[in-house]
Amino acid sequence: MSSLAAFGRLAAAAWSLARNDALLPRELDDLYPPSVKALSQSLRAFAGPESRSGRPGERLARSFEKLGPVAIKLGQLLSTRADIFGAPFAEDLSRLKDKLPPFPTEEARREVELALGRPIADVFSSFGEPVAAASLAQAHEAVLLDGRKVAVKVLRPGVEHRVAQDAEALTLAARLVERWSVPARRLEPRALAATVVRATELELDLRLEAAGGDELAEIMAKDGYMAAPKVIWDGVGKKVLTQEWAKGAPLSDPATLDLPGLDRKALADKLIRAFLAQALDHGVFHADLHEGNLFVAAPAEITAVDFGIVGRLTRAERRYLAEILWGFLERDYEKIAQTHFEAGYVPRTHSVSAFAQALRAVGEPLFGRTAKDVSMGRVLTQLFEITALFDMRLQPQLVLLQKTMMTVEGVARRLDPDHDIWKAADPVVRRWMLRELGPAARARRFAEEGLDALRAIARLIENPPQPTAVAVTHEPEPARLTWFAIGAAVAGAAFFLAAWLF
């Protein structure tokens, strides 16, 4: 019954897109191949009166609003890529970031009191109207009893049920795509859907978001590229999150870019470096860095809000990411290819050198050119074609990273159309490479391996293998002590070598 309901929602989504002429819009007819053009014209027979008003982006935004939180999240991602889809299309979708219709303030007050278990007057001296409304929640301006200005985020009533329905529909769509589209299987649609669903489900508990925001605020303070508002823990519940008021003006407002004294190039550099420093240095990053979640102040201060989606990387994944970025910075395509093979991203049945050659074909045309001269749509198309030739499959654990990289680059390009993402990334990646792959790092790893060996020997001494019934042998005590001494000597030497190098 659940599958039937999900199929019904998918059909309703297709119908809504067709009614708005947002599935295959008429404005793009000249770009479609003959078969797709014929399908587009057939779908137009179902278009309603609403399809005749507005640009394609406006019609798609209207459809996404009706389709619910997951579709709105997709629209938010698309709105950051003006370099791929065009500025008008991106601008039309940008309203999905924080300008959705709000729910009544009285409902928000009731939700706050239920979540905190006390009257609203016991926490806030004032509680105002909504200042921003997104797919899952809306934010209200308020003042604490001690006079501090804060933002109170409140989940939309009943949003959990809507997300559950969307999750079922998305899961069904992924299964259908995997079954009927052979080329799409390497993108792991079911694993991708599961990742998106899990991330959205975590956003429904604002206590987790508060913890993520608190953790990232500590991390951001170490680098200084970005800041986060302080969490007010007395105002946190499952459906309510209170933070100090974010400094600056919202980046989602087009007028913000014209503020006096704003250094747009420095802001774009800081945004790229903030994301990379979080991901590489700490293995945890804000995974929803679209304009609706960013505030800026002159000359180049950035404050991030909305920590509902936090990405995490293992040490191995961080190393692979850094080596791939470093390879592009140094134009070392052989190294990039080798890293892909070592990580298991490309099957070893293929040639490393051939893959390096293919990467060169994509990377070389990018160097020495300004951002406005590079078509990211063309680059992505080339990458897709090349990775398909080498059977490279999507890595579900890296979905949030890839999605955030696309979003961050899109925002940076909006801040500075001539932005050079590679130049901005260089100092952070170079710092990581020197720290993690230089002589000191090798000595540290040697020391760690020596200590691990010592611990293993100590465990072996404390719990020696039990003799079998077939053959009973006893290692002489002096031999045990000798091995212990050797292990201690190795670990000690490693320790002192590391201390000397540092």
| Of 86, 14, 31, nearest in space to 55 by CA | 86
- Per the DSSP assignment, residues forming a β-bridge with 144 are 124
User: Coil, helix or strand for 116?
Assistant: helix
Residue 66 token pair:
């009706």
Query: Rounded to an integer, what distance in angstroms lies between the CA atom of residue 385 and that of residue 308?
Result: 33
Residue 163 token pair:
């997300």
Kindly state the DSSP code that residue 80 receives in the 8-state scheme: T
Burial of 485 (0-12, 13-18, 19+ CB in 10 A): exposed
Exposed e or buried b for every residue in 316-337, given b needs 16+ CB within 10 A? ebbbbbbbbbbbbbeebbebbb
Query: Rounded to an integer, what distance in angstroms lies between the CA atom of residue 435 and that of residue 53?
Result: 56
Residue 303 token pair:
């404050």
- Per the DSSP assignment, residues forming a β-bridge with 246 are none
The 10 Å Cβ neighbour count of residue 67 is: 19
Asked whether 178 and 190 are in contact (CB, 8 A), the reply is yes
Query: Rounded to an integer, what distance in angstroms lies between the CA atom of residue 172 and that of residue 168?
Result: 6
Catalytic residue among 288, 416, 420, 426: 288
Phi and psi torsions of 252, nearest 5°: -70, -15
- Per the DSSP assignment, residues forming a β-bridge with 126 are 143
Q: Classify the phi-psi angles of 11: left when phi > 0, otherwise alpha if psi is within -120 to 50, otherwise beta.
A: alpha
Query: Rounded to an integer, what distance in angstroms lies between the CA atom of residue 215 and that of residue 134?
Result: 23
In the annotation, is 92 catalytic? no
Range list of H helices, 181-314: 189-202, 206-223, 264-276
Kindly state the DSSP code that residue 332 receives in the 8-state scheme: -
Q: CA angle, corner 375, sides to 363 and 338, nearest 5?
A: 20
Range list of H helices, 122-205: 159-180, 189-202
Residue 94 token pair:
């940008």
First to last CA, the chain: 63
Catalytic positions are 288
